[in-house]
Structure 1
Amino acid sequence: MQSNEMDEFLNAMADVKPIGQQDKRCAVSGSGKPSEAQIARRKAAEACFGGEQDGVSDAAMTLVDPDDPIGFARDGVQHGVYKNLRLGKYQIDARLDLHGHSVVEAKQTLLQFIKDCQRCEVRTALVLHGKGRQSSPVKGMLKSCVAHWLPQISEVLAFHSALKVHGGTGAVYLLLKKGERQKADNRERHQKR
């Protein structure tokens, strides 16, 4: 710095006092009471806890906006397979409509639906969860729960929000693991080559 600039700087800083090092507490503004929005989010999260006896945890759930697409693919799911699922190119073999279900009912219904799909060797299914624009106290609660539960279910290989014709962001396509008979048929087909 030139002496002219240094003089200006020192003049500007003349009345500045150093911050004391002895007090390291941080002042937080606010009343300490949670806001109505925070209370609503807590209640919604508590409503989502249905226990973990089914192996599907509700902890650390992230809320999803009603219009946001959701998706997931396990490691090993080929990019082309996931792309075809996302584009709705697979035949839908089963449907589940969760409209009107409570969070606890929806969880049990979804788990039973996936078990039934596995038993019947369904590979691709459609789950209608709704967008949740009118839900209260939190918008998109059921959609958020479905997006949180599905990756935890080992039978689910991938899922993605559906095309508009099938429900758009209020529904998801599911890609499920092959059943034992399907695996045996596949092995037999590949051994003939």
Structure 2
Amino acid sequence: MQDVRPMAANDKVISHGPASQTLAQQLKRQALEKAATRDPNILSTEKVEPLDPLDFLEFKKDGVQQGVYKKLRLGKYQIDEVLNIKMMKFEQARQQVFDTLTQAHHRGLRTLLIQHGLGLNSKPFPAFLKSYLNQWLRQLPHVLAFHTAQKSHGGLAATYVLLQKNQRQKQTNRERHQKAK
């Protein structure tokens, strides 16, 4: 340390490339990059209100006719697609529900059956997936209504979901009804 002297104003500083990042800096950068790519999945992973495994799931948006909802509740609509999320891990089930319902809406499907099981022995509490499914279906803008299925379709372990028409179907309806006038 005896030969160390203060730098003068005209001394040149030589840089040997960027300093290596610490682990914390690398993790922070990865988190920022991940946030920048933004996950399109809007389904919440936040706290959910636990349901009893034997509870009915039921929901209807304002504007859905009572007759349409009754027909859904009684299982009288043709089931266009079945999604089975029984025994799936939480994040996998969340992604499957989002992807399947979004794709079904784009393809013009109207009624789906989601098999989620009762979840009597699920962890961290009974009916774990069923509770989250109840929350997730309410968050999706193209879900008009849902109801626990009839016994012939799975009963309390399954749910009917009614999706709204996509833009193509709405346009077809407008054209059909305009020609009739």
What range is the shorter-chain TM-score in? 0.7 to 0.9
CA distance, structure 2, for counterparts of residue 137 and residue 86 of structure 1? 30
Task: Give the Å deviation of 1:60.
Answer: 4.5
Spell out the pairing of 1:39-188 with structure 2 (5 A cutoff).
54-188=41-175
After TM superposition, the score normalised by the length of structure 1 is 0.70
- CA 1:168–1:135: 2 relative to 1, 3 Å: same
CA distance, structure 1, for counterparts of residue 98 and residue 40 of structure 2? 12
CA distance, structure 1, for counterparts of residue 71 and residue 58 of structure 2? 13
Runs of 4+ in 1 over 3 A off after TM superposition: none
Instruction: Give the gaps of 5 or more residues in structure 1.
Output: 1-50
CA distance, structure 2, for counterparts of residue 138 and residue 132 of structure 1? 9
Q: How many residues align?
A: 143
Task: Give the Å deviation of 1:90.
Answer: 0.4
What SS does structure 1 have at the residue aligned with 2:50? Answer: coil
CA contact (8 A) 1:156 1:175 kept: yes
CA distance, structure 2, for counterparts of residue 192 and residue 123 of structure 1? 24
Task: Give the Å deviation of 1:62.
Answer: 0.9
Report the residue type matching 1:94 in the other structure.
E
Deviation sequence 1:46-90 (CA, Å, 0-9, x none): xxxxx9862222335211111111111111111111111000010
**Percent of aligned pairs with the same amino acid:** 45
After TM superposition, the score normalised by the length of structure 2 is 0.75
CA root-mean-square deviation = 1.6
What SS does structure 1 have at the residue aligned with 2:136? Answer: helix
CA distance, structure 2, for counterparts of residue 136 and residue 176 of structure 1? 30
Report the residue type matching 1:145 in the other structure.
Y
